[in-house]
Structures are given as structure tokens and as C-alpha cells.
Amino acid sequence: MEFKKSQELYNKGLVNLVGGVNSPVRAFASVGGNPLFIKKAKGSKITDVDGNSYVDLVLSYGPMILGHRHKKVQKAITKALKNGYSFGASTKNEIKLAKIVCDAFPGMDKVRFVNSGTEAVLSGIRLARAFTGKDKIIKFSGCYHGHQDALLVAAGSGLATLSLPGSKGVPEGAVKNTLIANYNDLESVKAHFEAHDDIAGVILEPVAGNMGVVTPQNDFLKELKKYLESKGALLIVDEVMTGFRSKFGGAQELFDVEADITCLGKVIGGGFPVGAYGARNEIMEMVAPLGGMYQAGTLSGNPIAMAGGIATLTELKKQNPYEKFNEIAQIIEVFLLESAKKYDVEITVNRFGSMINPFFTNKTVTNFEDAQTSDTKKFATFFWAMMHNGVFLPPSQFEAWFLSSALSEKDIQKIAKAIDKSMEAVSKM
Ligand code: PMP
């Protein structure tokens, strides 16, 4: 397999693009080697500029849940394009998408569309503060909520407990109201409430996908919600990744937990830049123009993105692929575990619905500290072997692999073969 044209483009890109990319993970920094440049994608497959075709388990980090260029989505956006691309005024489709989204989440009477997951979360945090009149927010180590200053707090334990900024350019003042707790550890949340009386709420990924896949254990979400209610604090559920992916009503439906504020992104735009935050009426009525919390967007509710979102969610509801996702993820888990056994490689596999990934560790992984015990060098070897065997994975140990409903039996066999070869490569390191 050759990556000559990707390499040429990467070298050209380095001149005017930072690191040759527009989002850091795309630079393949943690697996070494040059990043891929993509030419096109269709269904379950993605093709790079050198003509190499891969079964795509990145899926634009989640949005392409139906696979690429689903014909109904393509048709809807082509139709929308004919009427214009942006108006700065309202359209009927915004109401239609809002209804689909609000109907899926019982705790959501109203929704506001924005342009990314980052915007959805930063608005959701502002809303929690506006509603409670309190400033502090608890986040969990290893959960990623976009690149807003307040939540860009280092996720490693030492730095995390000190609440030091995780990025240059983030002033200490911007994170002084951010408290860090350990995922799956309610006691670490309680400790903050015992020390502070100005906590607006807790934000979390209901199933974490940004430290690899880490699932909530033993009613963690329910217990957390109950505790927050007793404290008058809000539960802000970041379903940017899990919304419409774990289940049509997101992880909240699966775990039977209702968020006070829900943040969405990825799938709801079907590949176009869309995010959203929503809540029950009394909370959403804080938002301008109804209330005093300001939030706005020139391109928000963009007509092409709305058309893409409506078509994607309508088709998703019809297909209802969630059971099938579970089955495929289980099959992939078995492939991973069996080949690891065959080649004597230590792994732990975590999965939830259409999200799955292996950690190269013998530890059970229930939080970020556990996830960090994974041997990332082994992951890098595994990643490149998967690429050479025709499977495109996220180029980081700490990202989930995503499934699309376009995966065929043949694709699954290809993934199985690639796993076998890649595990063998890891065993030879
Ligand atoms: N929240 C979660 C849970 C995410 O996974 C992401 C992106 N991976 C974001 C927020 C930020 O979304 P975006 O990249 O669209 O700004």
C-alpha cells in the first residue's frame, strides 16, 4: 500500500495549514507517520488520494452513522442547495429538526441549534450558570467537551486535581470554576459539593468516548442524577457523541436518566456542522430572546445542515440499527479477544452500542487513569497494520471506533482478517 500522494499533499499542506491539518488528531501525531488525505467516501468505505480504499471506522468521528453519501441524505441536501445556502432568517426545516430532536429526548422541550459540539457545550454550561446563578462546574477527568477554555482542563490526575489549564493560552482564571472528578466515582463528586456551595452542575459524557470507550458502571448515571437533585445542581449530559448513536434517544434513553441540559452534535447534522443544546422550558426560557442568557450564531440553523440532519435522523429512525450495532460490536469484540489470545497480546475491550475499542492493557478500564495504562506503542503498531489491511481507525488510542449501518458482511470479514494480522504484528514487537 502506497501513501505517496497523501505524503505530497501533507508536505504542501504544512506551508499554510498548521501541522497540515484543521484538527490536531488528523495529523496522526500519536501513531507516527503521515496523515491520510481523503478523496471520497461512499457507504461503509473511504478512499484516499492514492486510491487506497478502507472500511471506515472513523466515520468523521461519528456523524456518518448511515455510512457516507446515503442516497436520501444526498437527495435532501441537493434539493435544499437549490433554494440557497444561508439566509440569516428562519426556515421551516429548523422547526422540523427541532421537533425530531425534542421528541427523542423527554427532558427537552426546546432546543437551540449551533454549529459545533464545542458551541453546544459552551452554551449549555453558560445556561446552567444562568439558571442556577452559580459558577462552578464539575467535569470528569478524561471526558472531552470541545475546546472551550473553561473545560480545557488537563485530564491527567496530578494536573487535573490542581485544575491547571490543559492548553497554553487558557488563563488560570478561565478554569478556576472548573472542578475535576473521577469518572464512575460518585464520592469524588460528593467531595466537591462538601467543599463548595456554588456548584451549578456536573457535565459528563454518559458513555465516555474520548478516553477510548469507557462505560458508566453500576447505575453511576442514576445515582449521580439523584445526588445532584438533592443538591439543587444540574446534570448536563454531553451527548455530542452518543446522541442518536447509542439509541435514538441517546444514552439517556438507554440508562433511563433524564438530563437537565442535553448537548448534541455530530449525528444530528449528518456530516454538516451542527450542534444543539436543549432542556425543559423553564431552563431554555433563560436563553435570548426569551431570557437574559445571550447566545447567537450567523450560520446557526443553516438550511443545508438542517436538511442533512432531518434526512439523517428520519432514515435512522426508520432503520433502527441499534440492535444490529450491538451484534456487530459484539462480533468485533470476539475477533479482538480471540486474536489477542492467539498471539498472546494483553488487551481489554470496551464497547457500548456502536462504539468500541481495545486497550493494550490487562487492566479493566473504568476511568481515565485505567485507560492511560494502555501501551500506546502497541496501539500505533496495531493502527498501521489495520490501515495496511484496509481498515481506517481513529489514529489514537483514546478515540472510539464507530460503526455505520452501511457495514456489510464482507466488511466485517475484512475487519476480522485485519484484526488477526494486526494482532500478529503487535505480538512481534
Ligand atoms: N463533546 C463530545 C463528547 C465530543 O466527542 C466532541 C468532539 N469529539 C465535542 C464535544 C466537541 O464537538 P466539536 O468537535 O463538534 O466541536
- Separation between Cα atoms, residue 175 and residue 136, nearest integer Å: 9
Whether the model clears a pTM of 0.90, i.e. scores above it, the answer is yes
Distance of CA 428 from the midpoint of ligand 1 (Å) = 35
Give 38's DSSP letter: E
Give the least confident one: 148-162, 184-198, 298-312: 148-162
Task: Map residue 42 onto helix, strand or coil.
Answer: strand
Known catalytic membership, residue 322: no
Same domain? 185 vs 287? yes
Verify that 310 and 186 share a domain, yes or no: yes
313 has pLDDT over 60: yes
Question: Which of 144, 183, 277, 322 is an active site residue?
Answer: 144
Atom of ligand 1 nearest to the CA of 146: 11
pLDDT tens-digit series, residues 20-59:
999 988 999 889 988 999 999 999 999 999 999 999 999 9
Q: b/e string for 396-408 if b means 16 or more Cβ within 10 A?
A: bbbbbbbbbbbbe
> Count of domains in the chain?
2
Give the closest residue to 214 by CA, choosing from 64, 56, 370.
370
Give residue 237's domain range: 71-319
Q: Is 266 a catalytic residue?
A: yes
Give the C-alpha distances (Å, rounded to integers) separating 44 from 6, 259, 317.
Answer: 21, 33, 19
Give the up-direction half-sphere exposure of residue 426: CA atoms within 13 A in the CB hemisphere.
Answer: 31
pLDDT in tens, 241-281: 999 998 999 999 999 999 999 999 999 999 999 999 999 99
Say yes or no: 171 and 249 in one domain.
yes
Can you say how many angstroms the Cα of residue 49 is from the centroid of all Cα atoms in its chain? 26
User: DSSP E strands: which ranges in 18-72?
Assistant: 38-42, 45-48, 53-56
Supply the pLDDT for residue 233. Answer: 98
User: End of a domain among 292, 319, 346?
Assistant: 319
The strand order across the sheet containing 38-42 reads 38-42, 45-48, 53-56, 391-392
pLDDT digits (tens, 9 = 90+) for 70-79: 999 999 999 9
pLDDT score at 160 = 33
Backbone angles phi, psi at 279, to 5 degrees: -165, 180
Q: Which among 17, 24, 41 has a CA at the least distance from the CA of 392?
A: 41
Please pick, among 10, 45, 134, 238, the residue that the annotation labels catalytic: 238
Please check whether residues 292 and 326 belong to one and the same domain. Answer: no
- Per cent of the chain over pLDDT 70 is 97
Q: Distance, CA 44 to ligand 1 centroid (Å)?
A: 22
Q: Are residues 301 and 346 in the same domain?
A: no
Task: State in Å: Cα 276 to ligand 1 middle.
Answer: 11
The CA 99 to ligand 1 mean position distance, Å, reads 23
Shortest-distance atom of ligand 1 to CA 117: 12
Q: What is the CATH number of the domain that holds 22?
A: 3.90.1150.10
Residue 226 has pLDDT above 90, yes or no: yes
Cis ω on the peptide bond leading into residue 216 (within 30° of 0)?
Answer: no
State how far the Cα of 102 lies from the Cα of 139, in Å rounded to an integer. 25
197 is catalytic: no
For a pocket test of ligand 1, which of 152, 240, 355 has the largest count of ligand atoms closer than 8 A to its C-beta?
240
Tracing cell 453500576 back to the chain, one arrives at: 218
For ligand 1, atom 12, name the residue with the nearest CA: 117
Confidence of residue 165 (pLDDT cuts 50, 70, 90): low
Same domain, 76 and 58: no
302 and 327 share one domain: no
In the three-class reduction of DSSP (H, G, I as helix; E, B as strand; rest coil), residue 39 is classed as strand
Please tell me the total number of residues recorded for the chain in this structure: 429
Same domain, 52 and 130: no
* Last residue within a domain, chosen from 266, 300, 319: 319
146 lies in the same domain as 222: yes
Supply angle C-alpha 250, 93, 402, rounded to 5. Answer: 30
Burial class (CB in 10 A: 0-12, 13-18, 19+), 418: buried
146 and 9 in a single domain? The answer is no
Q: Which residues line ligand 1 (CB under 6 A)?
A: 61, 116-118, 121, 144-146, 205, 209-210, 238, 240-241, 265
Q: By the 8 A CB rule, do 94 and 87 touch? A: no
Residue 400 CA to ligand 1 centre (angstroms):
12
Helices within 288-402 (DSSP H only): 303-319, 322-342, 368-371, 376-388
Containing 359, the helix (H) or strand (E) segment is strand 355-359
Q: Using alpha carbons, list the distances in angstroms from residue 150 to 116, 178, 214, 321.
A: 16, 7, 23, 36
Distance (Å, whole) CA 131 – CA 260? 11
Q: Is the same domain home to 110 and 56?
A: no
DSSP 293: B
pLDDT at site 30: 87
Question: How do 348-352 and 355-359 pair as beta strands?
Answer: antiparallel
What is the rounded CA–CA span in Å between residue 359 and residue 346? 9
Domain with residue 82: its CATH number is: 3.40.640.10
Domain-ending residue, one of 319, 335, 360? 319
Q: 372: closest CA among 179, 210, 218?
A: 210
Given 266, 277, 370, 411, the catalytic residue: 266
Same domain (yes/no): 183, 89: yes
